[in-house]
Structure 1
Amino acid sequence: MNFKKKTLGLIAIAVTTFGISTANACTGAQIITEDKAAINGRTVEFGVLIDTSVAFVPRGYKFTGMTTKGPGKTWRAKYASVGMIIADYDVIVDGMNEKGLVCANFYFPGFAKYSVTTKENQSISMSTTDMVQWILSMFDNVDDVKKALKNNEVAISPVLTPGFPPQVQPFHFIVYDAAGKSIVFEPIDGKLKVYDNPIGVITNSPTFDWHMMNLRNYVTLGHTTPHSKKIFGIELKPLGQGAGMLGLPGDFTPPSRFVRAAAFAGSTIPAKTAEGGVMQMFHILNSFDIPVGAARTVEAGKIYSDYTMLTVVRDTKNLRFYYKTYDDQNIKMVDMKKFDFNAKKIVKLHTLTKQKFEDVSKKLK
C-alpha cells in the first residue's frame, strides 16, 4: 500500500526534532433513540496533524496485518465497512460495518503494553490499526467479538503504524453493535483485557475499570434542578437551571471527560428518530470540543496543542457515517447503502476541507 511520504516525513521530523507531545484527548459516547437506533460518536484530538480520509471498504478485500517480524494475520473481509483511514494506509481506524458494528481506537498512554511478536504468534498478530479493520471485516455483534478476543484469536504487535508519529502508539479500543451493546478492550501486560461497557463511554487513561469506579464520586449529580432549601430560616434557591450538575468536572483530562460524557449521554431526553439522535450526539460531543491552545504543552520553548480536528457520529440503524472537522463545521454524511458492498476497490475522500461562511445579508426582510 502507498503512504503519503511527505506528510509522514514532516510528522517524523517534527517529532524527532522538536519532541512534539502527541497526547490525545478523544472522547466517545452512545445514546439510544426512541426508534431503537444506537447512535454513537467520538472526537479526535492529537498533538500533530493527522492526515485523514473517509473510505468505503467492500466485502472480499484482503488484508495482511503488520507485525515487528513482517506479515502477520491475514483475512478477507466478510463485511463491507466505512470509516476513517490515516494517510494512504487503506485500513479503517474508526468505522462501522454493514451490520452496524462499530470499532474505534482511543489513545491509552502509560498503560498500553502489547504482546511480544514471536514465530509462534506471528500468524495471529497485527498492528493496532489493523485491529479495528479486522473486527469490522469479520464480526456483526459485540458478543462474537468478545468471544474471539477471550479465545486469543488475535494479538497486537508493537509495530509502527503509518500516518502516526514514528513511535509505537498506545491504544485501547471500543466496540458497539446495532443493538446498543458495547465492550472496551485494553492491551494490559501483553494480553487483551475485555470489559463490558454498559454506558457506552470511553476516553483515555487510566484503565476502563478505574473510570467506572471513579463515577461513584459523582452520584450526587442529577439533570433536575434541585428544590430550594432553608438554612437558619433563610430560603436558598438555585441560581439557575443546571444546578443539578453543580460539581461536574469541566477540564480536559480523561477522568473528567469520562464523567461528563456519562452525565450528558445519560441525562439527555431520547430523540424520537435516528436523525434526531445524530444531531443530539453532535451536540453532546460539542461539549468536548478543544480549541487550539486550550490544552497545550511547551517543549523546547515551542507550544504544541491538542485540538479537536475531527468529530464523528455513526448511525448504526441506517448505516450512515457523519463527520465534521476543525476547519469545516458543516456536517458531512456517507450513506453505506449507496455503495456496492461487493465492489472491487476501496473508494475514499479527504476530510481536510475549509468551511465557507454563508452570507445571508440579502435574505433579511
Structure 2
Amino acid sequence: MNLKKTTIGLIAIAVTTFGLSTASACTGAQVVTEDKAVINGRTVEFGVFLDTSIVVVPRGTKFTGMTTLGEGKKWTSKYASVGMILVDNEVIVDGMNEKGLVTASFYFPGYAKYSVTTKENQKISMSSSDITQWFLSMFETVDEVKTALENNEVAISPVLTPGFPPQVQPFHFIVYDRTGKSIVIEPMDGKLKVYNNPIGVITNSPTFDWHMTNLSNYVNLLAHTPDEVKVFGATVKPLGQGAGMLGLPGDFTPPSRFVRAAAFAASSIPEKTAQRGVLQMFHILNSFDIPVGVARTIEEGKIFSDYTMLTVVRDTKNLRYYYKTYEDQSIKMIDMKSFDLDGKKILRLHTKSEQQINDVSKKLK
C-alpha cells in the first residue's frame, strides 16, 4: 500500500521544544450505558486548520513505520479499523477497530520526549501517528497493548507529522477497550510510560498522574444541589440548581477541562441504550466546544485560535463511529458492520461539509 508519507520529512532531534505553540485543547471522556455499551469520545482542537478525513482500513493492510533513519517497523493489519486521518497520511490517529479497541492521540506539549532512533531500535520504531494505527491493527484489549509495551515491541521516532506545522509534534495516547478498561501512554525521556486510567478522561499537559492528583482539589463537587443551612440563625439557601458544582473550573486549560470532564462523566445518569449513550456523550463534549477566538495566542504577528474542529464519539458495542464538525453540527455515523472488512483498499470520506438549516415554518399548525 502507498502510505503517501513522502511529505513527512525526517528530523533527528529529541522532542523538547516545538516551535509555534499552536496549542491543542482536546478533551476525551467515557460513559457506560445500562445495556453495557461503552461509549467514549473526544473533541479535536488546534490553532491551525487540520485537514481530516474518515477512513475504513481493512484487514490485511500492510504498513511501514517511518523513522528518522528511514523505514521502521513493518506490520500487516490483523483487525480492520475506522477513524480519522490527517491529509493523505493513511494511518488513523483517532479510531476504533472491529474488536472495539479505541485509541487516540492528544497533544502533550512540554513533556513528550520520543526515543532517539538508532540502527539497533529502527526495526521496532515508528512515528507518533503510526503508533495509533499499530494499536488498532494488532490488538483486541488494553491488556494486550500493555503487554506489548512492557515487552518493548515499539518505540516512537521523532519524525514530522503530516498535516501539522513543520515541527515535531508532541503527543500522548489513550487506549480503551469494549470492557471500559483504559490506559494512558506518555513518551517520557525516550520511554513509553503507561498509566491505568480508571475514569476514562484525558486532556493535555501536564502528565496524567498530575491530573489525577489535582482531582483531590475538587472532592467537594456534588451532582445534587445542597440543602439549605443555618448560619447564626439565618437560613442560607442555594441560589439555584447546580450549586453542588460551585467551584467547578470553567476555563479551557487542560487541568480545568480534565476536572470538568471527570465531573460530567461521573455524574451523568447512565442511559438505557448505546444510541442514547452516544447522544449523551455528544452533550457532555458540547461543554468543551471552543468557538473561534476565545482561546488564542498571537505569534509573529499572527493570531492562532484553538477551536473545536471535530467532535468524535465511538460506540464500542455496535462498532459505530460518529462525528460532527465546526462547520456542520449534524451528527454523521460510519457503521463498521456495513463494510467488507476484508476489502482490498482503504475507503475514505473527507470531513468537510456545510451545515444545513431546516426551515420548519410550514409545519406550524
Shorter-chain TM-score: which interval? over 0.9
1:161 deviation in Å? 1.8
Name the SS for the 2:123 alignment partner.
Answer: helix
Are 1:233 and 2:244 an aligned pair?
A: no
Residue deviations 1:252-301 (CA, integer Å, cap 9, x gap): 00000000000000000000000000000000000000000010001233
Determine the C-alpha separation between the residues in 2 that align with 1:107 and 1:300: 22
218 and 304 in structure 1: CA distance in 2 versus 1, 3 angstrom threshold = same
Paired position in structure 2 for 1:77: 77
Structure 1: which amino acid aligns with 2:154? V
- Offset of residue 302 of structure 1: 2.6
Report the residue type matching 1:310 in the other structure: L
- The number of equivalent residue pairs is 355
Q: Distance in 1 between matches of 2:161 and 2:23?
A: 16
Deviation, 1:4, is 10
Q: Work out the CA distance in 2 between the residues paired with 1:76 and 1:22.
A: 34
Within 2, Cα distance between the matches of 1:26 and 1:3?
26
User: Which residue in the other structure is 2:55 paired with?
Assistant: 55
The one-letter code of the counterpart of 1:284 is I
Structure 2 alignment gaps of length 5 or more: 9-18
Question: How far 1:5 moved relative to its partner?
Answer: 9.7
Partner residue of 1:12? none
User: TM-score, normalized by length of structure 1?
Assistant: 0.95
Name the TM-score, length of structure 2 as normaliser: 0.95
- Letter of the 2:196 partner, please give it: D
Quote the Cα distance in structure 2 between the aligned partners of 1:302 and 1:184: 34
Match of 1:274?
274
Kept after mapping to 2: 8 A contact 1:150/1:194? no
Distance in 1 (CA, whole Å) between partners of 2:47 and 2:150 is: 33
Separation of aligned partners in 2, 1:271 and 1:170 = 35
Query: What is the CA-CA distance between 1:303 and the residue it aligns to?
Result: 1.6
Structure 1 contact 20–48 (Cα < 8 Å) conserved: no
1:210 and 1:279 map into 2 onto residues whose CA distance is: 30
Decide whether the 8 Å contact of 1:3 with 1:162 is kept in 2. Answer: no
Q: CA–CA distance in 1 between the matches of 2:359 and 2:6? A: 39
Name the CA distance, whole Å, in 2 between partners of 1:72 and 1:135. Answer: 16
Equivalent in the alignment of 1:152: 152
- Cα deviation for residue 20 of structure 1 reads 5.1
Corresponding residue of 2:293: 293
Gaps of 5+ in 1: 9-18
Distance 2:49 2:4 in 1: 15
Q: Tell me how far apart the structure 1 counterparts of residues 243 and 134 of structure 2 sit (CA, whole Å).
A: 45
- The separation in 1 between residues aligned to 2:246 and 2:23, in whole angstroms, is 28
Superimposed CA distance per residue, residues 47-72 of structure 1 (whole angstroms, 9 cap, x where no aligned partner): 10000000000000000000000000
Match of 1:103 in 2: 103
Summarize deviations over 1:13-65 as a string: whole Å, max 9, x none: xxxxxx75421000000000000000000000001000000000000000000
Distance in 2 of aligned mates of 1:5 and 1:254: 33
- Once residues 212 and 307 of structure 1 are traced to their aligned partners in structure 2, the CA distance between those partners, rounded to angstroms, is 25
Q: Give me the identity figure in percent.
A: 76
Look up the SS of the partner of 2:94 in the other structure: strand
2: CA distance, partners of 1:286 / 1:152: 38
Q: Can you list the C-alpha shifts for 1:212-248, whole angstroms capped at 9, x where unaligned?
A: 0000000000101000001011000000000000000
In 2: Cα distance, 1:261 partner to 1:126 partner = 31
Matches within 5 A, 1:80-91: 80-91=80-91
Which residue of structure 1 lines up, in the alignment, with residue 186 of structure 2? Answer: 186
1:123 is aligned to 2:123: yes
> Which has a greater percent of helix?
1
Greater Cα offset, 301-310 or 138-147: 301-310
Would you say 1:217 and 2:217 are equivalent positions? Answer: yes
Would you say 1:284 and 2:284 are equivalent positions? yes
Q: Which moved more, 1:157-166 or 1:47-56?
A: 157-166
Aligned 8 A contact 2:3 2:63 in 1: no
Cα distance in 2 for partners of 1:4, 1:196 equals 33
Secondary structure, in 3 states, of the residue corresponding to 2:223?
coil
Residue identity opposite 2:197 in structure 1: N
